[in-house]
């Protein structure tokens, strides 16, 4: 039987690093720490090796198709498949509440389109019974969105990836051409780019699960909590190791029948389609 393989994107620090650490301690198989920056990734691996853990490293830039293809080819040739995939790579610029088009596009390129790239190249390697966790946030709830047309599209149980792409492109076009409306979002449209990227990432989770319904693959999204990371600029209340617990639970303990859900950091299942709830958007990211 082939040895089980787990990999975590964006894992040289913060939450991703904590997830790799937890997997190295408990997962029975090989764990890959990936990072777009080779130097930082190798340094992170060395930190874990110094405490007796043994992750492997590979470069992966989720915004670069060539990088994703090279990693996929490597995994296919060396291991034949993947058993665990944690899509953690993400960005947020807290310094720009209403970003430029370039800033908004960069956020979406990493947080949403990066998932699409990973799906294109790595999902074909998922073995039967594999588990995928897409790291979302409080911004990924539909309650962040107030535009009725967008809500109608996103709440359709037959939502397609093409419609998701159209939603993202329509938002970006509004920023580019100056027609962006704060009223389309909660909280006066602050960090709308992050809300759009995380809503799209969460919705993509549901679409992906539906597309893989014929195989025993579990794909779930999670809000890991407000974490003390560079992204939070000191404003978080959870250490990365604490926030990693929810992700590790989904991988190591949750029933394989838990599929296509949005999980809160405390393990609570959230009705993602309930856009009337305004309990969570204030805690964005």
Is the peptide bond prior to 145 cis by the omega test (within 30 degrees of 0)?
Answer: no
47 CB neighbour count, 10 Å cutoff: 14
pLDDT band for position 229 (50/70/90)? low
Rounded to an integer, what distance in angstroms lies between the CA atom of residue 48 and that of residue 156?
Answer: 44
Q: How many CA atoms lie within 13 A of 210 on its CB side?
A: 11
Q: How many CA atoms lie within 13 A of 221 on its CB side?
A: 28
Nearest Cα neighbor of 54 from 82, 15, 27 is: 27
Angle between the 192-211 and 161-177 helix axes, to the nearest 10 degrees?
170
The mean pLDDT of the chain is 94
Nearest Cα neighbor of 141 from 202, 50, 80 is: 202
pLDDT (mean) for 76-80: 98
163 Cβ neighbours under 8 A, 6+ residues apart: 153, 156
pLDDT tens digit sequence for 274-283: 888 765 555 5
Q: Where are the domains of the chain?
A: 5-283
**276 three-class SS:** coil
* Higher pLDDT pick, 198 / 237: 198
30, β-bridge pairs = 5
DSSP state letter for 188: G
Lowest mean pLDDT among 67-71, 129-133, 280-284: 280-284
Whole-number pLDDT of residue 237: 79
Whole-number pLDDT of residue 213: 85
Whole-number pLDDT of residue 24: 98
Rounded to an integer, what distance in angstroms lies between the CA atom of residue 206 and that of residue 216?
Answer: 15
85, β-bridge pairs = 7, 132
Whole-number pLDDT of residue 57: 98
Q: Does the pLDDT value for residue 168 go beyond 90?
A: yes
pLDDT band for position 235 (50/70/90)? low
Whole-number pLDDT of residue 36: 97
pLDDT band for position 234 (50/70/90)? very low
Whole-number pLDDT of residue 276: 83
Q: Is 82 left (phi over 0), alpha (psi -120 to 50) or beta?
A: beta
Which token pair is 82? 């993947």
Lowest mean pLDDT among 63-72, 81-90, 227-236: 227-236
Nearest Cα neighbor of 65 from 13, 121, 10 is: 121
CA torsion 96→100→105→110, rounded to 10°?
A: -20
CA distances for 156 relative to 22, 101, 182, 233, angstroms: 36, 28, 24, 36
pLDDT (mean) for 54-76: 98
Percentage above 90 pLDDT, the chain: 88
Q: Which superfamily, per CATH, for 5-283?
A: NAD(P)-binding Rossmann-like Domain (3.40.50.720)
Which token pair is 148? 């009725």
* Higher pLDDT pick, 214 / 282: 214
């Amino acid at each position: 039987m082939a040895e089980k393989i787990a990999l975590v994107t964006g894992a040289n620090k913060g939450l991703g690093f904590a997830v790799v650490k937890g997997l190295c301690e408990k997962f029975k198989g090989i764990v890959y720490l990936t990072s777009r920056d080779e130097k930082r990734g190798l340094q992170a691996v060395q930190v874990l090796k110094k405490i007796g853990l043994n992750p492997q490293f590979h470069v992966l830039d989720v915004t670069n198709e060539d990088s994703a293809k090279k990693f996929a080819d490597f995994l296919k040739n060396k291991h034949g498949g993947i058993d665990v995939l944690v899509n953690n790579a993400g960005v947020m610029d807290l310094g720009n509440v209403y970003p430029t088009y370039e800033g908004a596009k960069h956020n979406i390129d990493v947080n949403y389109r990066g998932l699409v790239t990973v799906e294109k190249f790595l999902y074909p390697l998922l073995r039967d019974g594999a588990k995928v966790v897409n790291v979302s946030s409080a911004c990924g709830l539909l309650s962040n969105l107030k535009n009725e047309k967008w809500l109608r599209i996103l709440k359709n149980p037959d939502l397609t990836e093409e419609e998701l792409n159209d939603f993202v492109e329509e938002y970006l076009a509004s920023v580019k051409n100056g027609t962006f409306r704060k009223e389309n979002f909660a909280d006066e449209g602050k960090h709308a780019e992050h809300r759009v990227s995380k809503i799209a990432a969460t919705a993509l989770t549901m679409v992906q699960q539906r597309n893989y319904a014929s195989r025993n693959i579990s794909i779930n999204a999670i809000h890991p909590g407000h974490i003390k990371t560079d992204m939070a600029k000191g404003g978080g209340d959870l250490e990365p190791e604490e926030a990693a617990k929810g992700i590790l639970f989904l991988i190591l303990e949750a029933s394989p029948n838990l599929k296509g859900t949005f999980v809160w950091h405390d393990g609570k299942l959230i009705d993602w389609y309930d856009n009337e709830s305004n309990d969570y958007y204030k805690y964005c990211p």
